């Protein structure tokens, strides 16, 4: 009896490792297809074409000081993975739905986004021929360098750049024109939204010998400039026009009051509207206009002092002659200065 028990124990210890190896081998064979579907490209012998589409839903914010904008949109990706092809008659459906991580998806990200994009939902479907459709509704804050030299008559071409960590030898982007566009209800306060366009390009890496594809979604926005004309430009024109009344007045006291009041009014007005002006390190059109107004008001102050000096020196005829010339020369010079400003910034 004892001998039989020993034989049974030896036989059991011999069989168990074999069974464990079979189980391990079975688990390895089951995991292998999953790893291939999630970590390897659909086509190892050639590039995988990823068709990209982007659709603007609406703008949430546009911050000129921080040079950033926040928007809601849809991201569409389409590619073909023949490993996922299936027979619809066997599955009873026209498509299969997967979760992220179950199959291979392009490793894409926004190049000019601040932080991470927030995805409201993601949808991943596969057609019988293996065509994969990815749809994502996202919200993100993007940065872009604004050119405000023509402010307040400027227009901007803001961009959203989508890229991938995969080399262009493995993945190429093409534009899905049917799914690229914008909502008719898209709104941006203070701006008019123009046309959108999309293109793809290939960028060389700065640190390695590699090229990466990029999808660029661009949309034109035009500033609504009328409020700046009514609230800034016209009031300053009234102030500078008032200062020119010294060319018709012979009273030094009145001319002094007019000239200094005009200068102080322009300074005070500039302080009030300063918050509405862009804080940039370069000269903008509106800054140039305000500077010209300051210069010509200062010239009026100097003119008033010079005219009074001539009157004290009994050179009234010369003073009157200067008045007659200044009445048309100063406005012409002011107009010419602003025409030059317009030509420099806007033409």
Average pLDDT over the chain, rounded to whole?
86
Q: What is the pTM of this model?
A: 0.80
User: Cβ neighbours of residue 338 under 8 Å, at least 6 residues apart?
Assistant: 289, 292
pLDDT of 168 reads 67
Rounded-to-integer distance, Cα 126 and Cα 270, Å:
61
* CB burial readout 194-220, b (16+ within 10 A) else e: eebebeeeeeeeeeeeeebbbbbbebe
Is the distance from CB of 175 to CB of 114 less than 8 angstroms? no
pLDDT of 25 reads 35
Backbone φ and ψ for 241, nearest 5 degrees, come out as -65, -40
User: Cβ neighbours of residue 66 under 8 Å, at least 6 residues apart?
Assistant: 143
Above 70 in pLDDT, residue 145?
yes
How many Cα atoms sit within 13 Å of 88 on the Cβ side? 10
Read off the pLDDT of residues 83-100 as tens digits, 9 standing for 90 and up: 899 988 877 778 899 998
Is the distance from CB of 112 to CB of 214 less than 8 angstroms? no
Mean pLDDT calculated for residue range 232-242: 96
Read off the pLDDT of residues 257-298 as tens digits, 9 standing for 90 and up: 999 999 999 999 999 998 888 888 899 999 999 999 999 999
Counting residues of the chain whose pLDDT is more than 90, the rounded percentage is: 63
Read off the pLDDT of residues 186-221 as tens digits, 9 standing for 90 and up: 999 999 999 999 999 998 877 777 788 999 999 999
Class of residue 322 by CB neighbours under 10 A (exposed 0-12, middle 13-18, buried 19+): middle
Rounded-to-integer distance, Cα 187 and Cα 181, Å:
14
Read off the pLDDT of residues 3-47 as tens digits, 9 standing for 90 and up: 444 444 444 444 444 343 333 333 333 444 555 556 576 666 678
pLDDT of 38 reads 61
pLDDT of 229 reads 96
Backbone φ and ψ for 178, nearest 5 degrees, come out as -75, -20
């Amino acid at each position: 009896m004892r001998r039989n028990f020993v034989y049974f124990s030896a036989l059991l210890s011999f069989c168990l490792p074999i069974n464990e190896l079979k189980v391990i081998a079975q688990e390895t064979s089951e995991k292998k297809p999953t790893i291939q579907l999630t970590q390897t490209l659909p086509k190892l012998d050639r590039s995988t074409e990823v068709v990209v589409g982007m659709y603007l839903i609406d703008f949430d914010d546009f911050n000129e000081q921080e040079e950033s904008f926040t928007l809601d949109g849809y991201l569409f990706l389409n590619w073909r993975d023949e490993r996922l092809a299936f027979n619809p008659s066997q599955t009873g459906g026209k498509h299969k739905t997967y979760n992220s991580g179950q199959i291979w998806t392009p490793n894409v990200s926004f190049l000019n986004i601040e932080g991470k994009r927030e995805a409201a939902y993601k949808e991943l479907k596969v057609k019988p021929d293996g065509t994969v459709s990815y749809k994502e509704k996202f919200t993100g804050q993007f940065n872009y360098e604004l050119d405000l030299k023509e402010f307040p008559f400027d227009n901007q071409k803001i961009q959203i750049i989508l890229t991938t960590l995969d080399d262009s030898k493995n993945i190429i982007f093409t534009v899905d024109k049917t799914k690229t566009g914008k909502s008719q209800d898209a709104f941006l306060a203070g701006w008019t939204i123009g046309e959108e366009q999309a293109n793809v390009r290939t960028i060389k890496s700065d640190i390695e010998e590699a090229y990466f594809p990029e999808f660029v979604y661009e949309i034109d926005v035009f500033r609504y400039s009328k409020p700046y004309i009514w609230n800034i430009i016209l009031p300053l024109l009234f102030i500078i026009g008032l200062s020119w009344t010294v060319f018709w007045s012979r009273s030094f006291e009145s001319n002094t009051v007019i000239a200094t009041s005009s200068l102080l009014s322009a300074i005070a007005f500039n302080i009030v509207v300063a918050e509405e002006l862009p804080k940039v390190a370069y000269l903008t059109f509106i800054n140039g206009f305000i500077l010209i107004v300051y210069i010509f008001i200062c010239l009026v102050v100097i003119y008033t002092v010079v005219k009074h000096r001539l009157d004290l020196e009994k050179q009234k005829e010369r003073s009157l002659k200067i008045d007659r010339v200044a009445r048309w020369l100063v406005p012409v010079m002011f107009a010419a200065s602003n025409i030059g400003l317009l030509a420099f910034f806007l033409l």
